[in-house]
């Protein structure tokens, strides 16, 4: 049976993607699911730190360059059911990886004997990162309730849209149309990605249908991290609304994680990040997010008002 | 308990309500109001989009939210009215005025202008227009008759069997004999007139917009009962208006108003 792939990304900024990835992974593993975490973070693959592991010898770079099989690169962790692949600085966020190689990697990833594969894309937003994002079954963005974080998210989304549309056109031998249109955007009065997509849709009814279908398939799952008040919680709903109404993408608000100043103290002192005590509020919040992911549900207003 | 249809779930989702729930009018209104406030204020979520999410876009979005509100309110109000009849505890019925939510962009007080001044009106004029021709306040379309002052380009589509009486449209203001189709409040008949002035058939428009011919006809005839979802209707109107080089925002606003009025009159 093929594994389900969840990608965690969303663009620049230390929003806590690695933390969220490892937390979700651990939660699933503790439920008895087989989980493989993949660290594809350019900013310094550091997922292993969260797992209290030494940096592994083999990485995805070896997969690409030495054709080392994934099974040799996957490492067990101290947590049962939880395994781990490190990306290395060079592996997924360089433009050097050929498309065919990426496809090969995705095929292999799909066939890892895991129930869930979680890919931490970190801060990356180039083609490789975005393609990895697009290949996932669930695309998860972690944001902070700060303007820069939203700014980065929108930038990321625009790149994703652009990439998606370009790839689609490429499949029909029209690869350069979107790119050229964007380059000539002043002349064509295309002001932003939305208008570019409209332009592409108007090329022909067939293209329009394809683009609409492609975008209808796309759902972005939102997690707001380091929430300190109710307004921060609202950021998730607001972001979801903008994505739906302005970017015209399907979006779901998975949940939020409260800022917990005791959390890091807890981790450092007890060195027991791996042992999540269910009474820790963060663990509960993660659990709720995971449940929403598995049941394809999301946060709604009444849950927030009544207190989860 | 009835389960919610996909359409209902979609509208519930837009307002961040539980898709399996049957919200009270109060809950619906509060959910709508929260989003309305969001889109008419500044926030960290909106500020990064300042240069591209302009006033027109906000208005469009607010319209969609308003439609969602109306749809859900109408739907669940009907349910709660039923409950009242059956002796349930009192419900609070909250209605919002059926007006466009006023969004005034931030400007200096001196420069503050009404949004209406911003909205451009741009219906093409062609040479075929004779300025002296007026539009009759009441026009009956039928296959047989043609009234004296009947504007010659109005012809009923071939597939319409029964004569339809179009309710009155206000007389356009007369300005130095210039043709004033653009000043008419938009309704189905106006769409038809604009279309015919451009020399387009229903078939042409169908090809251009991707909207089915029968739907285009229903739009022009204001056969509202043929449209299940307000959202779809608005989408058609906007597409149609754009294809006819009309101001799509105004068209949507005015046409949907008529739709809602019809809905209210046809509720049980």
Q: Which pLDDT score is estimated for B70?
A: 92
| pLDDT for position A266 | 57
Across the range B211-240, mean pLDDT stands at 85
> A1: closest CA among A116, A131, A118?
A116
Tell if the CB–CB gap between B49 and A300 is shorter than 8 Å: no
Q: B45 vs A303: CB contact, 8 Å cut-off?
A: no
Give the pLDDT confidence score for residue B17 in this predicted structure.
Answer: 94
Q: Taking CB atoms and an 8 Å cutoff, what residues of chain B touch A238?
A: 38, 43, 45-46
* pLDDT tops 80 at residue B249: yes
Residues of B in contact with A208 (CB under 8 A): 210
Using the predicted structure, report yes or no on whether residue B165 has a pLDDT greater than 90: no
Q: What is the pLDDT of residue B109?
A: 44
The predicted structure's pLDDT at residue B110: 42
- A116-120, strands of its sheet edge to edge: A75-76, A82-86, A35-39, A116-120, A4-9, A138-143, A219-227, A250-258
pLDDT of residue A269: 54
Q: pLDDT tens across A168-185, in order?
A: 888 888 878 878 888 887
Checking if the pLDDT of A141 tops 70, the result is yes
Q: Is residue A157 part of a domain?
A: yes
Indicate the number of domains in chain A.
1
Residue bearing the bigger pLDDT, B226 or B130: B226
Rounded to whole angstroms, how far apart are CA atoms B133 and B154?
A: 13
pLDDT in the model for residue A172? 81
Interface test with B, best of A144, A185, A212, A302 (most B CBs within 10 A): A302
Any domain includes A57? no
Task: Give the pLDDT score at B244.
Answer: 92
Residue A209 falls inside a structural domain: yes
Place A286 in a pLDDT band, splitting at 50, 70 and 90: very high
Mutual orientation of helices B230-243 and B248-265 as an angle, nearest 10°? 150
pLDDT at A262: 66
> Does A23 score more than 80 pLDDT?
yes
Mean pLDDT of chain A, nearest integer: 84
Mean pLDDT (whole number) for A162-172: 85
Percent pLDDT > 70 in chain A is 88
CB-nearest to A241 from B35, B48, B57 is: B35
The CA angle A109-A110-A116, to the nearest 5 degrees, is 90
- By mean pLDDT, which of A170-174, A304-308, B139-143 is the weakest? B139-143
Query: Which chain A residue has the Cα nearest residue B47?
Result: A147
Length of chain B: 268
Interface check B112 vs A, CB under 8 A: no
Which of the four pLDDT bands, split at 50, 70 and 90, describes residue A142?
Answer: very high
Label residue B227 by pLDDT band (50, 70, 90).
Answer: confident
Q: What is the pLDDT of residue A299?
A: 94
Alpha helices by DSSP H, listed for chain B, are 6-14, 25-39, 55-85, 115-118, 188-197, 202-209, 213-220, 230-243, 248-265
Cross-chain CB nearest to A300 (options B16, B52, B64): B16
Q: Which residue of A has its CA nearest to B63?
A: A245
Spell out the domain ranges in chain B: 6-118, 139-265
- Asked if the structure places residue A250 within a domain, the reply is no
Give the range among A97-111, A282-296, B110-124 with minimum mean pLDDT.
Answer: B110-124
Query: Which pLDDT band, with edges at 50, 70 and 90, does B181 fall under?
Result: low
Q: Which of A259, A249, A187 is nearest to A222 (CA)?
A: A249
* Residue A28 clears pLDDT 70, i.e. is over it: yes
Report, as an integer, the average pLDDT of B107-129.
Answer: 43
Lowest mean pLDDT among A188-192, B16-20, B87-91, B196-200: B87-91
* Contact list, A302 vs chain B (CB under 8 Å): 17-18, 21, 27
Of A23, A2, A1, A6, whose CA–CA distance to A117 is shortest? A6
Spatial separation of the C-alpha atoms in residues B1 and B22, rounded to whole Å: 9
Residue A55, pLDDT > 90, answer: no
Whether B16 and A238 lie within 8 Å, measured CB to CB: no
What does residue A278 show for φ and ψ, rounded to 5 degrees?
-60, -15
Percent with pLDDT over 70 in chain B:
61
What confidence score (pLDDT) does residue B171 get? 43
| Proportion of chain A above pLDDT 90, given as a percent | 36
Higher pLDDT, residue A297 or A188: A297
What values do phi and psi take at A270, rounded to 5? -90, -10
Domain that holds residue A197: 144-217
> What is the ipTM, given to two decimal places?
0.84
CATH class held by domain B139-265: mainly alpha
Question: pLDDT tier at B3 (50, 70, 90 boundaries)?
Answer: low
């Amino acid at each position: 049976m093929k594994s389900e792939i969840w990608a965690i990304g969303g663009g620049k900024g230390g929003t806590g993607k690695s933390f969220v990835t490892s937390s979700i992974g651990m939660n699933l593993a503790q439920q008895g699911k087989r989980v493989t975490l993949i660290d594809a973070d350019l900013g310094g693959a550091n997922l292993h730190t969260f797992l209290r592991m030494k940096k592994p010898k083999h990485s995805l770079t070896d997969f690409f360059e030495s054709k080392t099989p994934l099974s040799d690169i996957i490492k067990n962790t101290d947590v049962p059911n939880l395994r781990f692949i490190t990306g290395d600085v060079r592996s997924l966020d360089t433009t050097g990886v050929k498309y065919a190689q990426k496809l090969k990697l995705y095929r292999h990833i799909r066939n890892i004997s895991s129930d869930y594969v979680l890919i931490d894309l970190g801060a990356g937003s180039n083609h490789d990162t975005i393609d990895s994002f697009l290949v996932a079954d669930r695309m998860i963005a972690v944001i902070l309730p700060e303007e820069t974080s939203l700014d980065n998210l929108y930038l990321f989304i625009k790149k994703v849209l652009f990439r998606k549309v370009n790839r689609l056109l490429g499949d029909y031998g029209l690869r350069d149309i979107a790119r050229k249109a964007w380059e000539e955007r002043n002349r064509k009065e295309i002001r932003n990605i939305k208008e570019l997509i409209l332009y592409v849709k108007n090329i022909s009814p067939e293209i329009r249908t394809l683009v609409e279908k492609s975008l209808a398939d796309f759902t972005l799952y939102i997690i707001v991290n380091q929430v300190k008040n109710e307004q921060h919680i609202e950021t998730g709903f607001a972001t979801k609304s903008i994505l739906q109404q302005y970017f015209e993408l399907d979006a779901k608000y998975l949940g939020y994680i409260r800022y917990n100043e005791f959390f890091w103290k807890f981790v450092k002192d007890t060195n027991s990040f791996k042992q999540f005590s269910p009474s820790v509020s963060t663990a509960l919040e993660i659990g709720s997010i995971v449940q929403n992911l598995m049941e394809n549900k999301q946060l709604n207003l009444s849950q927030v008002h009544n207190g989860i | 308990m009835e389960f919610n249809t996909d359409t209902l779930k979609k509208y519930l989702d837009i307002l961040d309500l539980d898709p399996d729930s049957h919200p009270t009018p109060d809950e619906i209104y509060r959910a709508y109001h929260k989003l309305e406030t969001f889109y008419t204020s500044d926030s960290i979520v909106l500020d990064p989009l300042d240069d591209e999410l302009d006033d027109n876009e906000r208005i469009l979005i607010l319209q969609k939210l308003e439609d969602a509100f109306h749809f859900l309110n109408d739907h669940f109000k009907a349910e709660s009215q039923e409950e009242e009849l059956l002796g349930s505890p009192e419900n609070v019925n909250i209605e919002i005025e059926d007006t466009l939510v006023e969004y005034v962009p931030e400007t200096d007080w001196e420069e503050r202008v009404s949004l209406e001044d911003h909205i451009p009106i741009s219906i093409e004029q062609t040479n075929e227009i004779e300025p002296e021709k007026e539009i009759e306040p009441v026009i009956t379309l039928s296959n047989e008759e043609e009234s004296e002052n009947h504007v010659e380009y109005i012809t009923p589509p071939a597939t319409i069997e029964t004569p339809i009486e179009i309710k009155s449209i206000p007389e356009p203001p007369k300005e130095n004999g210039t043709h004033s189709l653009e000043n008419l409040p938009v309704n189905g008949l106006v769409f038809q007139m604009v279309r015919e002035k451009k020399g387009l058939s229903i078939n042409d428009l169908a090809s251009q917009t991707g909207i089915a011919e029968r739907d285009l006809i229903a739009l022009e005839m204001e056969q509202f009962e043929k449209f299940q979802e307000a959202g779809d209707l608005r989408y058609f109107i906007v597409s149609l208006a754009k294809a006819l080089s009309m101001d799509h925002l105004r068209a949507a606003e005015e046409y949907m108003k008529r739709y809602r009025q019809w809905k209210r009159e046809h509720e049980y």
